[in-house]
Chain A
Amino acid sequence: MLPEFLEYGFMQRAFAVGLMTALICPAIGVFLVPRRLSLIADTLAHVALAGVAVGLILGLSPVLGALLVTAAGAVGIERLRARGTLQGDASLAVFLSGGFAVAVVLISLSGGFNADLFAVLFGSIVTVSPLDVWVVLALGALVGSTVALFYRQLLAITLSEELARTSGVPVAALNLVLTVLTALTTVVTMRMVGVLLVSAMIVIPTLTGFAVARSFRLATAIAIAAAVTSVVVGLIAAYYLRLAAGGSVVLTALAIFGAATLARSLRGRRPAPPLPP
């Protein structure tokens, strides 16, 4: 017997999309947060908004437009960062505001905001279509398998790019792969929590993992568990309390993070270093 909130097809699809999001966001986040790239997802989300606008104007699917433009933006950010033309956060700032400006101009060209754009900004779980689910599952499988395949190398780069380079890891190529994976993750996550909250899903569960775990692998596992819990609790709360789903999920993730930090300080442990050995 299904609980009431799973009787409806749209809630089943919301959970499918949400759980896939919860699996891949921390899996990417653990490689971003320690390198001070926490805001890259937020940046790519703003670039994705421009992609959505392109999609709407050209009559393409907004997800397709977002995928193409966001992947291109990701490559651009990584190029600027790798060449040292701009410091890491400066290139993020350029792309964040630039992407948003392009989006705003394109939206004004297309005749103004409409319900579609609100759904992109704040997420919309009640209108997830079966096609959306398949796209999200496919992208999620791609992100997950790539991370699993290159886990050791990505970990090495995260610990120290220099060290990884000297030990023969193809740093530049893998950085590019990671950035494109971040772009895919952003587009997937956007469907559920909206552009404005994407980076929360990537960063907050990851911080929870690093707050309590001693090893990188354990931190990843805890981060995924925290994200899955946030999605399940957030969606159920949204259903019964009539709340916005994206915000509920993120607030749950924040509550878990708060609890984890509190638990750590109660145990009197030193704050974990940003990179647990």
Chain B
Amino acid sequence: MSRLGALALLATLGAGCEPSAGPPPPAPSRLHVVASVYPVYEFARHVAGEAAEVALLIPPGVEPHDWEASPKDVGRVADARVFVHNGAGFEPWVDRLLAGLGDRRPAVVAAAAGLELLDALPAADPHGHGHPPPRRERAAGPAPAKDPHVWLDPVLAAAQVEAIRAGLAAADPPNAARYAAGAEAFAARLRALHERFEQGLASCQRREIVVSHAAFTYPARRYRLTQIPITGAAPDAEPSPAELARIVRVARRHRVSVVFFEPLVASRLADALARELGARTLPLNPIEGLTREEAARGTGYVALMEKNLAHLRDGLGCR
């Protein structure tokens, strides 16, 4: 028999299994979900539990702002039943990728859709002493005007979890109850996390956080902190000497003693600023992705947020 014939036979056999006439298949193929970036990947995994299979598109150790989809990645999205992304401009490549899929589009969940977005603070004086916001552009195009890092506020993270639950339930109604249970269990952990942030940051000596890029707008608003970003919304744009000098003045006025840097981005700038201020540096993770080590250890969102809380309390002198 020719190879082609064998394939045709296999195809017919496969097709014969489809109708529900026969006995139910022992292991129904699970819902296949692809998530764009780490935060929504982890949220989707908690919602999915055992009922669906979730894969992450951007590999550990890669800065998501720098990532581009390869043809293989496009294929992975095309093969998924549900594609979960953060939205709010965090993954500028998503629209292009989905447009290229044509009819093979999976169901798409934008987890930040419907949330009220805040402007990403331009690297500006938090007291607004009349400086026009410096124009910031990346090589890849203008930076998004809104801060997409909604997941750093546990309350908004819970809203994202709910959006993902609704998306999975719509794509796979038989398992809707399991998704609801997974979402509720994780939402409870997020509520507890929010409590710990509230209490942990209730009384601090300072409330100004100097961070390497403007990713902490939402936790800053939730916990009444003031974010002083060294660069704007994108982590790789370097400030001009005059901008760095202005940040030095602002930080000195607030007696900032810690400069926060991001684990996935080289800390040159944070080091330079800390040197200028005589300050320490501490990591503050925007949780855009995991390092390879964190992925291997199985560290998750809640553990990373708790580490962030510990470093914030240390850097701000909280009791």
Chain A interface residues (CB < 8 Å from chain B) = 4-5, 7-11, 14, 111-116, 118-119, 124-130, 235, 238-240, 242-245
Contact = CB atoms under 8 A, between A and B. Distances in A.
Contact of B241 (A5, A116, A118): A5
B188 interface: no
Interface stretch (B39-47, B97-105, B261-269, B302-310): B261-269
7 contacts: A10-B272, A112-B66, A115-B235, A115-B265, A126-B238, A127-B269, A245-B241
Interface string B227-243: 00000000110111111
B184 interface: no
A10 B244 contact: yes
A4 B246 CA distance: 11
B241 A115 contact: no
A261 B296 CA distance: 63
B62 interface: yes
A127 B268 contact: yes
Interface of B: 61-63, 66-67, 134, 235-236, 238-245, 248, 265-266, 268-269, 271-272, 275-276
B268 A14 contact: no
Nearest to A112: B66
Nearest to B67: A112
B261 to A, nearest CB: 11
Contacts of A5: 241, 245
Contact of A114 (B241, B245, B266, B269): B266
Nearest to B61: A111
Contact of A242 (B243, B268, B276): B243
A127 B271 contact: yes
A254 to B, nearest CB: 21
A126 B266 contact: no
B160 to A, nearest CB: 27
Nearest to B241: A239
B245 A118 contact: no
B272 A8 contact: no
A119 B237 CA distance: 10
B242 A240 contact: yes
B238 A118 contact: yes
Contacts of B61: 111
**6 nearest interchain CB pairs?**
A127-B272, A242-B240, A127-B268, A115-B236, A239-B241, A116-B266
A126 B268 CA distance: 9
Given A10-B241, A129-B275, A239-B242, 7 more contacts: A111-B61, A112-B66, A113-B66, A126-B244, A127-B269, A239-B240, A242-B134
Contacts of B243: 242
B265 A114 contact: yes
A130 B235 CA distance: 24
A242 B242 contact: yes
A238 B241 contact: yes
B309 to A, nearest CB: 26
A5 B243 CA distance: 11
Contacts of B266: 114-116
Contact of B271 (A7, A111, A129): A129
A112 B276 CA distance: 29
Nearest to A4: B245
